[in-house]
Amino acid sequence: MSELHQAAASGDYDLVEEIVKKKSCDPNQRDFDWNKKTPLHWAASKGQTEMVRILIENGARACLRTDNGWTPAHFAAESGKLTVLRLLHSLHAPVDKKDSSGDKPVRIAEIYGHEDCVHFLKKAEVESGNYRQMAKLNGLPLDDTDEEWEQERKEAKKQVIKKSHLNVKATNARRENVNAVGVC
């Protein structure tokens, strides 16, 4: 865990500002001991709205995902941090991405009983989709995809397909052996 991760997790605004101003730590650094959480994931989960703003203003990408595909919006939804969700949405951060299990932040908020977040996220999902379409039509850049996570998912899917093909071959080979033995 970097100094910036620790400062974000503990709510030390002064230290976070000092670190990002000096550019002594990458605001998008992933902590591999904590499922690839970034400082922004920590701030969102703790409901530190102003820290979320500071991190994003200093280059933190709100689209980055943890190992299980959670964005900062998933963490804010889990913790019921409506002000963080509102800020993320106002900054056009993705609030409607599915995690590895297919759950969007709205589903996470439902699971944890945060009805105010559920209500907000249902509207925000529609607005986010409309904004992405408008941005695409007008050629506006969007930072809503974690390319590294997407690539890892593709590789994992390839491995699953490869294993299933090997299993099919092994099953077919066993059947052939059984059939050959049964003929005797």
Tens digit of each residue's pLDDT (9 = 90 or more) over 62-119? 999 999 999 999 999 999 999 999 999 999 999 999 999 999 999 999 999 999 999 9
The span from the CA of 87 to the CA of 103, in Å, is 21
Residues 163 and 72 in one domain: no
C-beta separation of 93 from 62 below 8 A: yes
| Single pTM value for the model | 0.83
Residue 24 pLDDT: 87
Q: What average pLDDT does the segment 23-47 reach?
A: 94
Residues 139 and 163 in one domain: no
Residue 142 pLDDT: 87
Residue 68 pLDDT: 95
C-beta separation of 108 from 72 below 8 A: no
Residues 13 and 39 in one domain: yes
Q: Does 184 have pLDDT greater than 60? A: no
Residue 179 pLDDT: 63
Q: What average pLDDT does the segment 54-65 reach?
A: 96
**What would the DSSP string read from start to end of the chain?**
--HHHHHHHHT-HHHHHHHHHHT-S-TT--BGGGTTB-HHHHHHHHT-HHHHHHHHHTT--TT---TT---HHHHHHHHT-HHHHHHHHHTT--S----TTS--HHHHHHHTT-HHHHHHHHHHHHHHHHHHHHHHHTT-------HHHHHHHHHHHHHHHHHHHHHHHHHHHHHHHHHHHHH-
Q: What average pLDDT does the segment 44-56 reach?
A: 96
pLDDT (tens digit, 9 = 90+) per residue, 147-182?
Answer: 998 898 888 888 888 777 666 666 776 777 666 655
Residues 116 and 68 in one domain: yes
Residues 19 and 52 in one domain: yes
Looking at the 3D structure of the chain, how many domains does it have?
2
Residues 43 and 125 in one domain: yes
Residues 104 and 17 in one domain: yes
Give the bridge partners for 37, in sequence order: 31
């299980």: which residue's tokens? 68
Residue 154: give the domain boundaries: 146-184
Residues 123 and 184 in one domain: no
Residues 39 and 109 in one domain: yes
Residues 8 and 49 in one domain: yes
Looking at residue 53, which CATH number applies to its domain?
A: 1.25.40.20
Residues 101 and 162 in one domain: no
Residues 130 and 180 in one domain: no
